[in-house]
Amino acid sequence: MYAAAFDYVRASSWSEAVDLLGELGEDAHVIAGGQSLVPMMMLRLAAPTALIDLAGADQRTIELRDGQLVLSALVRHADIEHSEVVAEHVPMLTEAVRQIGNVRVRQRGTIGGSLAHGEATAELPSVALAHKATVQVLGPDGERTIPAGELAVTHLTTSLAPAEVITAVQVPVLAAGQGSCFVELARRAGDFAMVDVAALLTCAGDGRLTGARLVVGAVGHRPADMSEAAQPLLGQPLDDAPVDEVARTVADEVQVGPSTHAGVAYRRQMVAVLVGRALRRAGAAALCARHPERA
Amino acid sequence: MTAVSKQPISLQVNGRATDAWVSPNLSLLELLRVEAGAPEVKLGCGEGVCGTCTVLLDGEPVNACLMFAVQANGCEVTTVRGLAPDGELHLLQQAFLDHAGAQCGFCTPGMILTSKWYLDRHPDADREELRRALAGNLCRCTGYTKILDAVEAYRDVCRREHDGD
């Protein structure tokens, strides 16, 4: 398979990448890991006239800063997978990247690339939304910050302007009393998810749940924030909370689009199963995390 | 369509300097097979799913079908042949022979490079971990059991050598 012809340039900084995007016109495209873009180019679903390679634009840094995990947009899934800082402070991210593609895809694919690509079945947009992450963006008019909830518009479409690039991703870290869980259903290891669920629960010192974030991905055209439907869990310990009822409500209410892999009714049923599983695991983790000095 | 010019690139393939003028849309896979004399790198699915075109780029496994050659400019590429530079089989290749881990042989280069990379980093990996590491390498002949037997046998040989030091 051959991609359509294109010009290739390397950017040595984020600002150079933005300048090049402006110069090379709206059919130019940035490339980081290329694990989503290149297959689309090979299948001629995408035919950029120029590729601007971001590999040299920044370091692949992961830092803890003011209660947030700050990841360069070029951080690869494999970097996240093996990062102890990530595993300790945003374990949902570790769980999610393990489900992405295979070792080769994780070795090249980047967090910024995944979020900018906006694939409806991708894992990281669900995690970003559940954790209320923000992306740092650079464009011709300077920097701005976009909350995860305002980034994904629909399948393969984000709110990024044509000459804007994501430079970093900020993820609020787990606080004391918070626990999280990411689960997905795919037909085989590394395949596109049919359903994914990201849950982030908070519990008080006495064990009662005080906060719930819940995101369902891969079933609609973008991840769905279903936190409202999870509010009946609050005010009681996990064991007494109506987990199954919440799971049923979410499955009934979430928008489920057509898929070539399985029917709508089946995937709704799987939403209920996965929401229940994610809430119970996140709740158990939250219970263990009630004291700051986690043993 | 804009006029696109070829670009000069320079990379190491199995320790040998390789220079070429390439169109940006030439994949790393094509470069290796056609320009760099490395036909042991196989084209399978062309979508990054099957693992047949696995090569090590600066020591890490990548899909040669999902990279353009220009992206690999300045990098070091290892193909399966790089494990046996003098024609003498690497212990892992020998293990695949001993345990019948290769039948048609098409997936074997990817299987061997991925296993070698993983065991270099996780010398104590158990069968389940090896299974997960190889989940992205498809084989249509063996049913995987003999492949995992071969990889485990190689791991055990390395352990014994390590313990003997």
Strand ranges (DSSP E) for chain B?
Answer: 7-13, 16-22, 54-57, 60-63, 76-78
Between chain A and chain B, how many beta carbons pairs sit less than 8 Å apart? Answer: 96
Chain A contact for B135, CB < 8 A?
yes
* A255, A163: one domain: no
The pTM score is 0.95
Q: Mind listing the pLDDT tens digit for each residue in A164-203?
A: 999 999 999 999 999 999 999 999 888 999 999 999 999 9
Domain boundary among A172, A204, A229: A172
* A202, A136: one domain: no
- The residues in A 107-146 lying below 8 A from B, measured between CB atoms, are 107-108
pLDDT at B85 (0 to 100): 87
Alpha-helical (H) ranges within chain A are: 14-24, 37-42, 77-81, 84-89, 91-97, 103-108, 111-117, 124-130, 148-151, 243-253, 264-288
In a domain, A293, yes or no: no
Sequence-distant contacts of B77-80: CB under 8 A, at least 24 apart: B77/B11, B77/B12, B77/B13, B77/B14, B77/B28, B77/B32, B77/B36, B78/B14, B78/B113, B79/B13, B79/B14, B79/B32, B79/B38, B79/B40, B79/B41, B79/B55, B79/B109, B79/B113, B80/B40, B80/B41, B80/B108, B80/B109, B80/B112, B80/B113
Residue A295 has pLDDT above 70, yes or no: no
Under the banding of pLDDT at 50, 70 and 90, the label for residue A294 is very low
In a domain, A294, yes or no: no
Chain A contact for B65, CB < 8 A?
yes
Q: Mind listing the pLDDT tens digit for each residue in B63-76?
A: 999 999 999 999 99
Please give the residue of chain B at the shortest CA–CA distance from A24.
B2
Write the ipTM: 0.95
The range of the structural domain enclosing residue A36 comes to 7-53
Residue B165 has pLDDT above 80, yes or no: no
**3-state secondary structure labels for all residues of A175-231:** CCCEEEEEEEEECCCCCCEEEEEEEEEEECCCCEEEEEEEEEECCCCCCEECHHHHH
* B95, B70: one domain: no
| Separation between Cα atoms, residue A270 and residue A272, nearest integer Å | 5
Contact between A31 and A53 (Cβ < 8 Å): yes
Chain A contact for B17, CB < 8 A?
no
Q: Mind listing the pLDDT tens digit for each residue in B81-135?
A: 999 989 899 999 999 999 999 999 999 999 999 999 999 999 999 999 999 999 9
pLDDT at A114 (0 to 100): 98
Residue B37 has pLDDT above 70, yes or no: yes
In a domain, B1, yes or no: no
Q: What tokens does A22 get?
A: 């402006």
Q: Which of A7, A53, A55 sits opposite B2 (nearest CB)?
A: A7
In whole angstroms, how far apart are CA A193 and each of A110, A122, B90?
Answer: 18, 7, 38
The range of the structural domain enclosing residue B151 comes to 91-164
In a domain, A1, yes or no: no
Domain boundary among B83, B118, B135: B83
The domain tally of chain A equals: 3
Q: Mind listing the pLDDT tens digit for each residue in A43-81?
A: 999 999 999 999 999 999 999 999 999 999 999 999 999
Under the banding of pLDDT at 50, 70 and 90, the label for residue A292 is low
* A161, A192: one domain: no
Q: What tokens does B59 get?
A: 């020591």
Q: Mind listing the pLDDT tens digit for each residue in B41-70?
A: 999 999 999 999 999 999 999 999 999 999
Sequence-distant contacts of A28-32: CB under 8 A, at least 24 apart: A28/A52, A30/A54, A30/A116, A30/A165, A31/B71, A32/A73, A32/A74, A32/A109, A32/A110, A32/A112, A32/A113
In a domain, A70, yes or no: yes
**What is the mean pLDDT of the segment spanning A204-213?**
96
Q: Mind listing the pLDDT tens digit for each residue in A231-265?
A: 999 999 999 999 999 999 999 999 999 998 899 99
Q: What CATH code is carried by the domain that includes residue A141?
A: 3.30.465.10
* B97, B70: one domain: no
Q: Which of A34, A49, A101 sits opposite B67 (nearest CB)?
A: A34
- A55 vs B contacts (CB less than 8 Å): 71
| Separation between Cα atoms, residue A170 and residue A132, nearest integer Å | 9
CA geometry: angle A234, A239, A240, nearest 5 deg: 60
Contact between A281 and A238 (Cβ < 8 Å): no
Q: Which of A35, A42, A103 sits opposite B133 (nearest CB)?
A: A103
Q: Which of A4, A101, A190 sits opposite B25 (nearest CB)?
A: A4
